[in-house]
């Protein structure tokens, strides 16, 4: 999506992101048809998602090893999960 090679460094990824986001920004297509506007919005979402994955070293490594499924697993693992969250509705024993 960002038109970079797997060996691209952070700077190259950033420059490609900026170029593509500017070219596909919905404001540039404000005078176009509804279809062009929707396409620009969807392209911007995809470019931003790709940028968010590739700018993070852990997510990028996961993507390189296993694609989108591996990124999703890495994202889930990066959040702290509390299987027994506190319940504010329960009364405390005094």
Domains of the chain as residue ranges with CATH: 10-78 (1.10.287)
- Of residues 53 and 47, which shows the higher confidence score? 47
pTM exceeds 0.85: no
Distance from chain centroid for Cα 60: 11
Cα–Cα distance between 69 and 62 in angstroms, integer?
9
Cα–Cα distance between 51 and 83 in angstroms, integer?
31
Which tens digit of pLDDT belongs to each residue from 7-17?
A: 888 899 899 99
3-state helix, strand, coil in the chain (%, to 5): 65, 0, 35
> By the 8 A CB rule, do 17 and 8 touch?
no
Q: For position 5, what pLDDT does the model report?
A: 82
């Amino acid at each position: 999506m960002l038109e970079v090679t797997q060996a691209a460094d952070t700077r190259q990824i950033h420059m490609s992101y900026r170029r593509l986001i500017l070219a596909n920004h919905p404001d540039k297509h404000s005078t176009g048809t509804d279809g062009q506007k929707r396409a620009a919005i969807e392209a911007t979402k995809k470019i931003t998602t790709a940028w968010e994955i590739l700018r993070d070293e852990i997510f990028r490594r996961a993507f390189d090893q296993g694609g989108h499924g591996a990124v999703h697993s890495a994202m889930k693992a990066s959040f702290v999960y509390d299987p027994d969250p506190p319940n504010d509705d329960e009364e405390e024993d005094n």
